[in-house]
């Protein structure tokens, strides 16, 4: 990839992860040159191997909690680096806090140095175990800072505060996306989230593990829809947080029963105690995304989950 290019140049931190790799594909298809930075703490080289011969793609193996050096011009910085599943941030609590704080500081510093537009991949977890439903962007959340999920929730909340500080103090062009539950190809089989957990359990005839009574809800957005919304946000003139997710809500028990219908299996539902601070509801209000970005999900659940099952079949 040459530095002198008429193509926009994007830096994607965490670009070897599930979402980061799909974003990288989207950017390349939109005519960007893309530099991915990742240290593979949770990402995978396999997510990027199809780009090995692409002259518009470059990979830098680096921990973004250390100073980030990228030569030449940069137009956009997309900060996606972070452990993002309960298993990850429970096993990696301090790296999770560091990437949300030091990593965000370094990524913002890179964007400021290059006079680039910056986008923070934040999360619906900033709402914690919400007391309002569905969740709107002006809700401040209900988060336990010293609970087991606090390392992720507070890292992202701090990252949002720092992003807004760079916007207000330095006048930087920044964006914040709050990502709700997303699924699709390239999710890891055992990352602790319900979609890969249920699909892999059903494909291997193991019980589908439901925590609590399964009445807690989630809203599942297919990855291509999410990435499109994030791309539109980066290209917009809006600087405050925007929810991107699918407002179709279902209980975990309903989702488990759907998987059992779609996959021939001897699996059954198995109930276990609910983890501490597990959110009881999760549903985005996407009025802001519809109004500002003219965005809403296009892939229905049946189509998206069929694609995802096919992907996991190829990995088991």
Q: What percent of the chain has pLDDT over 70?
A: 98
> What pLDDT sits at residue 5?
64
Q: Compute the average pLDDT of residues 105-116.
A: 98
Q: Output the CA torsion 80→125→221→131 (10° steps).
A: -160
The pLDDT value given to residue 123:
98
Q: Is the pLDDT score of 75 beyond 60?
A: yes
Q: How many domains does the chain have?
A: 1
Q: What is the pLDDT of residues 244-290, one digit of tens each?
A: 999 999 999 999 999 999 999 999 999 999 888 888 999 999 999 99
Q: Which residues of 153-185 are buried (b: 16+ CB within 10 A; e: fewer)?
A: bbbbbbbbebbbebbeeeebbbbbbbbbbbbbb
**The two three-digit tokens of residue 204, written as one number:** 């291997």
Q: Confirm whether 308 is domain-assigned.
A: no
First-to-final CA distance of the chain: 35
Is the pLDDT at 316 greater than 90? The verdict is no
pLDDT digits (tens, 9 = 90+) for 177-201: 999 999 999 999 888 889 999 999 9
In a domain, 123, yes or no: yes
C-alpha 186: how far from chain center:
12
Backbone angles phi, psi at 86, to 5 degrees: -55, -40
Q: What is the pLDDT of residue 45?
A: 98
Only one residue has tokens 């809700």, namely: 139
Residue 197, in any domain of the structure: no
**Three-state secondary structure of 128-157:** ECCCCCCECCCCCCECCCCCCCHHHHHHHH
Q: How confident is the model over 34-50, as pLDDT tens digits? A: 999 999 999 999 999 99
In a domain, 204, yes or no: no
Q: Is residue 202 part of a domain?
A: no
Over residues 287-300, the mean pLDDT reads 98
DSSP state of 246: -
φ/ψ of 69, rounded to 5, equals -115, 125
pLDDT at 263: 96
Residue ranges making up the domain that contains 129: 9-184+222-246+284-298
Residue 119 has pLDDT above 70, yes or no: yes
Band of pLDDT at residue 128, cut at 50, 70 and 90: very high
Q: What is the mean pLDDT of residues 70-94?
A: 95
b/e burial code for range 279-300 (CB count within 10 A of at least 16 → b): bebbbbbbebbeeebebebebe
Residue 42 belongs to some domain of the structure: yes
Whether 136 and 80 have beta carbons less than 8 Å apart is answered as: no
Question: DSSP string spanning 176-211?
Answer: EEEE--EE-TT--TTSS-HHHHHHHHHHTTPPEEEE
Q: Looking at the domain assignment, is residue 271 inside a domain?
A: no
Q: Does residue 307 form part of some domain?
A: no
What pLDDT score does 145 carry? 96
pLDDT, residue 2, reads 45
Q: Where are the alpha helices (DSSP H) in the chain?
A: 18-29, 86-91, 93-98, 104-114, 150-170, 194-203, 223-234, 252-262, 287-293, 301-315
What gap in Å lies between CA 164 and CA 234, rounded to an integer?
Answer: 15
Read off the pLDDT of each residue in 103-123 and give the average, rounded to a whole number: 98
How far is Cα of residue 150 from the mean position of the Cα atoms in its chain? 17
Q: What is the Cα–Cα distance from 235 to 32, expressed in whole angstroms?
A: 13
Distance CA(301)–CA(303), nearest Å, equals 6
What pTM was estimated for this model as a whole? 0.96
pLDDT value of position 1 = 55
CATH code assigned at 132? 3.40.50.720
CA-atom Rg of the chain in angstroms: 19
- Per residue in 4-20, pLDDT (tens digit) is 568 999 999 999 999 99
Residues identified as active-site = 152
Burial of 25-62, coded b for 16+ CB within 10 Å and e otherwise, reads bbbbeeebbbbbbbbebbbeeebbeebeeeebbbbbeb
């Amino acid at each position: 990839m040459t530095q002198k290019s008429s193509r926009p140049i994007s830096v994607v931190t965490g670009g070897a992860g599930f979402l980061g790799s799909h974003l990288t594909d989207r950017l390349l298809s939109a005519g960007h040159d893309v530099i991915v930075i990742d240290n593979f703490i949770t990402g995978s080289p396999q997510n990027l191997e199809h780009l090995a011969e692409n002259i518009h793609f470059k990979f830098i193996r680096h921990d973004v909690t250390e100073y980030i050096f990228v030569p030449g011009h940069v137009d956009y910085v997309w900060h996606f680096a972070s452990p993002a599943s309960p298993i990850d941030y429970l096993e990696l609590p301090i790296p999770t806090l560091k990437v949300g704080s030091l990593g965000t500081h370094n990524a913002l510093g890179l964007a400021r140095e290059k006079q680039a537009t910056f986008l923070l991949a934040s999360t619906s977890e900033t709402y914690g175990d919400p007391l309002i439903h569905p969740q709107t962007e002006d809700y401040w959340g209900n988060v336990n800072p010293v609970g087991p999920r606090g390392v992720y929730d507070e890292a992202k909340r701090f990252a949002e505060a720092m992003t807004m500080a760079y916007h207000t103090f330095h006048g930087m062009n920044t964006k914040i996306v709050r990502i709700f539950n997303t699924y699709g190809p390239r999710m890891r089989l055992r990352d602790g989230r319900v979609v890969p957990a249920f699909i892999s359990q059903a494909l291997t005839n193991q019980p589908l593990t439901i925590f609590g009574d399964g009445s807690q809800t989630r809203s599942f957005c297919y990855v291509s829809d999410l990435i499109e919304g994030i791309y539109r946000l980066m290209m917009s003139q809006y600087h405050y947080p925007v929810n991107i997710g699918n407002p179709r809500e279902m209980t975990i028990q309903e989702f488990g029963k759907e998987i059992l219908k779609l996959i021939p299996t001897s699996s059954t539902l198995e109930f276990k105690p609910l983890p501490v601070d597990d959110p009881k509801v999760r549903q985005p209000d996407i009025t802001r995304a519809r109004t500002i970005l003219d965005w809403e999900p296009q892939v229905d659940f049946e189509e998206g989950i069929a694609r995802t099952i096919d992907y996991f079949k190829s990995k088991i």
